[in-house]
Amino acid sequence: MHNQVMLKLGGSVITDKAGKDVIDRQQLATIASTLKESAFSGYIVHGAGSCGHPEAHQYHLDLGADRSNAVGIGVTHRAVTALNRAVVEALQNEGIDAIGVHLLDSCLADDGRLVSAPVELLDRLNALGITPVLHGDVVLDRRRGACIVSGDQVISALSPQLAVGRVGLATDVPGVLSSEGQVVRSITPSDIEGLSIGTSSSVDVTGGMQGKIRELLVLAGGGVESHIFAVSRLQDFLHQRDHGGTVVRMA
Amino acid sequence: MHNQVMLKLGGSVITDKAGKDVIDRQQLATIASTLKESAFSGYIVHGAGSCGHPEAHQYHLDLGADRSNAVGIGVTHRAVTALNRAVVEALQNEGIDAIGVHLLDSCLADDGRLVSAPVELLDRLNALGITPVLHGDVVLDRRRGACIVSGDQVISALSPQLAVGRVGLATDVPGVLSSEGQVVRSITPSDIEGLSIGTSSSVDVTGGMQGKIRELLVLAGGGVESHIFAVSRLQDFLHQRDHGGTVVRMA
């Protein structure tokens, strides 16, 4: 029943987050090859990394949009959709049939949270053997004009509706790190208050690791475990082996 | 109130329909310049022309889709979205803020007809001063798996919901032509049975001129006139002058 995998590729993993609009095509090729080898079936979501975050930041889209900064919507969307095309292309090159699905086209938000999303459409693509590739994006917002919806919010909003059994987040660190730099192997809602975690210094308009964990706890509340691991351990995650990273669960 | 314009750019106008995936960028630049000069505000829809029709035909998507031909969905969608990017880019080059909106991402169909579409989203883009650029596309279909939705169906389905006052279809002919090659200046529902019109010999999986007129009569039924004219007369249409073409109206 709930046998689908939803895999998030962190923006830092597939772009050079210190630069601007720099796509790591070699990394994408490696990921696609691993997915092919593991007969991956499910949904892929990716972050924006350096393809979208700098643009969203420049136009202050995290604060909303009106006619004064609306031009930033297209600029940001085009940056992240260029990355999306590269992800789809890498999958196609391995013979994985994939189609990019953009939130800006298909979703609406209210005060920063998704209120509509193309769930039936994603389910139908999956049933046809096509891997939908979603991504963090600008989304039109009933209250703010526009907002930034992270790949992590996509995961927490859509996984419960899409028969997803396992969520994986491939990142550029081994897992959630404590402020001492150790991997936190397990996080539950009762841990979150006392948790002291490292922070990222690169531009991220979506809340970085703390935002990510908040989204995943919402998901855990619905009974879906998620896994945060180094992209180099993707194969271990896909084969349900220990990946050395963090598991976010209810208890 | 209903003061928006919805402009359809025929696939034959912006591509070389005799070839495959050949975009006419010079034509797109001329159109964008005319729109800028006329302070265009509204919605743009374009056909697929040689960027999508041959692919849809090759994979028989007009007959539906299942796992045996689903790979054609992505192939066709990518061909027409490449054209869509070229249209958006031409508009951006003239300083018209535009964003591509894809039906495959955002719509569902049932037996070949749209049953959901991102109306609120399009309205919000317009309110922010952004021109949405839609296009004919593959759409997932509840009954057929997938279908082809033409730009003309987009116009007839969405115009009534988007406060559109005038619809224009820029084509590569001067208007609807009789079988004697004369422009039919006016078409009403009572004319359609006796109407003998010319046919196009190029590949068009969406029904060509006859399909176009059927869609526009649906629209006329809702009180919105539409105009079919040569792309060279676009300026006349935008300035509400005689464009020498065809008007489709209720009576």
pLDDT at B122: 98
* Min Cα separation B91/chain A (Å): 12
* CB distance B182 to B243 below 8 Å: no
pLDDT at B218: 82
Of B104, B180, B165, residue with least CA distance to B138:
B104
Of A53, A123, A45, residue with least CA distance to A84:
A45
Write the single-letter amino acid at B81. Answer: T
For the ranges A140-144, A244-248, B16-20, the lowest mean pLDDT is seen at: B16-20
* Min Cα separation A80/chain B (Å): 13
Q: Residue B127 half-sphere exposure, CB side, CA atoms within 13 Å?
A: 15
Residue scoring higher pLDDT (B241 or A2): B241
**Per-residue pLDDT tens over the stretch A226-243:** 999 999 999 999 999 999
On the question of pLDDT at B90 being above 90, the answer is yes
pLDDT at A229: 97
Q: B235 at the A interface (CB within 8 A)?
A: no
What stretches of A85-152 adopt beta strand conformation (E)?
98-100, 108-110, 113-116, 131-135, 137-141, 145-149
- Arithmetic mean of pLDDT, A168-174: 94
pLDDT at A201: 44
**B251 class by beta-carbon count within 10 Å (0-12 exposed, 13-18 middle, 19+ buried):** exposed
**Per-residue pLDDT tens over the stretch B142-185:** 999 999 999 989 999 999 999 898 999 999 999 998 888 899 99
- Arithmetic mean of pLDDT, A18-36: 92
Q: B66 at the A interface (CB within 8 A)?
A: yes
Residue partners of B65: CB distance under 8 A and separation at least 6: A128, B59, B72, B73, B138, B141, B144, B145, B146
**Per-residue pLDDT tens over the stretch B64-76:** 999 999 999 999 9
- Arithmetic mean of pLDDT, A162-171: 93
Judge whether B64 is annotated as a binding position.
Answer: no
B106/A120 CB distance under 8 A: no
CA distance B49 to B70: 21
Candidate ranges A168-182, B95-109, B150-164; pick with highest mean pLDDT: B95-109
On the question of pLDDT at B58 being above 60, the answer is yes
On the question of pLDDT at B195 being above 80, the answer is no
pLDDT at A134: 98
* Min Cα separation B41/chain A (Å): 14
Q: With contacts defined as CB-CB under 8 Å, which chain B residues touch A129?
A: 67, 70
Of B83, B86, B94, residue with least CA distance to B40:
B94
Q: A82 at the B interface (CB within 8 A)?
A: no
The DSSP H or E segment spanning A172 is none
CA distance A250 to B181: 72
Average pLDDT, chain B: 91
B128/A67 CB distance under 8 A: yes
* Min Cα separation A52/chain B (Å): 15
On the question of pLDDT at B121 being above 60, the answer is yes
Residue scoring higher pLDDT (A41 or B206): A41
Neighbours of B13 (CB within 10 A): 24
Helix (H/G/I), strand (E/B), else coil: A117 = coil
On the question of pLDDT at B206 being above 60, the answer is no
Judge whether A212 is annotated as a binding position.
Answer: yes
In chain A the domains, ranked by start, together with CATH numbers, are 4-168+228-242 (3.40.1160.10)
B130/A73 CB distance under 8 A: yes
Which two tokens mark B250?
């209720």
A–B CB contacts, 8 A cutoff, strictly below: 75
CA distance B113 to B108: 8
pLDDT band at A139 (very low <50, low <70, confident <90, very high): very high
Which of B74, B97, B118 is the closest to A105 by Cβ?
A: B118
pLDDT at B201: 44
* Min Cα separation A70/chain B (Å): 6
Of B4, B98, B71, B82, residue with least CA distance to B49:
B82
B105/A108 CB distance under 8 A: no
Q: A115 at the B interface (CB within 8 A)?
A: no
DSSP of chain B: ---EEEEEE-HHHHB-TTSSS-B-HHHHHHHHHHHHHTT--EEEEE--TTTTHHHHHHTTGGG---TTTTHHHHHHHHHHHHHHHHHHHHHHHTT--EEE--HHHH-EEETTEEEE--HHHHHHHHHTT-EEEEE-EEEEETTTEEEEE-HHHHHHHHGGGTTEEEEEEEESSSSPBBTTS-B--EE-GGGGGG--B----S--TT-HHHHHHHHHHHHHHTT--EEEEEGGGHHHHHTT---SSEEE---
- Arithmetic mean of pLDDT, A79-94: 98
* Min Cα separation A106/chain B (Å): 4
User: Do β-strands A42-46 and A131-135 pair in parallel, antiparallel, or remain unpaired?
Assistant: parallel
Judge whether B8 is annotated as a binding position.
Answer: yes
Neighbours of B240 (CB within 10 A): 10
For the ranges A203-217, A230-244, B17-31, B115-129, the lowest mean pLDDT is seen at: A203-217
Nearest 5°: phi and psi at B122?
-65, -40
Judge whether A19 is annotated as a binding position.
Answer: no
pLDDT at A177: 87
Judge whether A172 is annotated as a binding position.
Answer: yes
Q: B22 at the A interface (CB within 8 A)?
A: no
A124/B104 CB distance under 8 A: no
Q: With contacts defined as CB-CB under 8 Å, which chain B residues touch A108?
A: 120-121, 124
CA closest to A68 among chain B residues: B128
Handedness of CA A24, A27, A29, A31 (dihedral sign): negative
What is the percentage of chain A residues whose pLDDT exceeds 70? Answer: 92
- Arithmetic mean of pLDDT, A35-63: 95
Q: B73 at the A interface (CB within 8 A)?
A: yes
Which two tokens mark B16?
């070389």
pLDDT band at B104 (very low <50, low <70, confident <90, very high): very high
What is the percentage of chain A residues whose pLDDT exceeds 90? Answer: 75
pLDDT at B223: 85
CA closest to A82 among chain B residues: B85
Which of A92, A98, A120 is the closest to B108 by Cβ?
A: A120
CA closest to A96 among chain B residues: B71
Q: For residue A13, give Cα distances in angstroms to A8, A34, A199, B72.
A: 10, 15, 16, 30
pLDDT at A103: 98
Q: In what order do the strands lie in the sheet with B108-110?
A: B113-116, B108-110, B137-141, B145-149
Q: B222 at the A interface (CB within 8 A)?
A: no
A67/B124 CB distance under 8 A: no
Of A117, A205, A184, A200, residue with least CA distance to A155:
A117
Which of A71, A97, A102 is the closest to B74 by Cβ?
A: A97
Interface test with A, best of B94, B99, B133, B137 (most A CBs within 10 A): B99
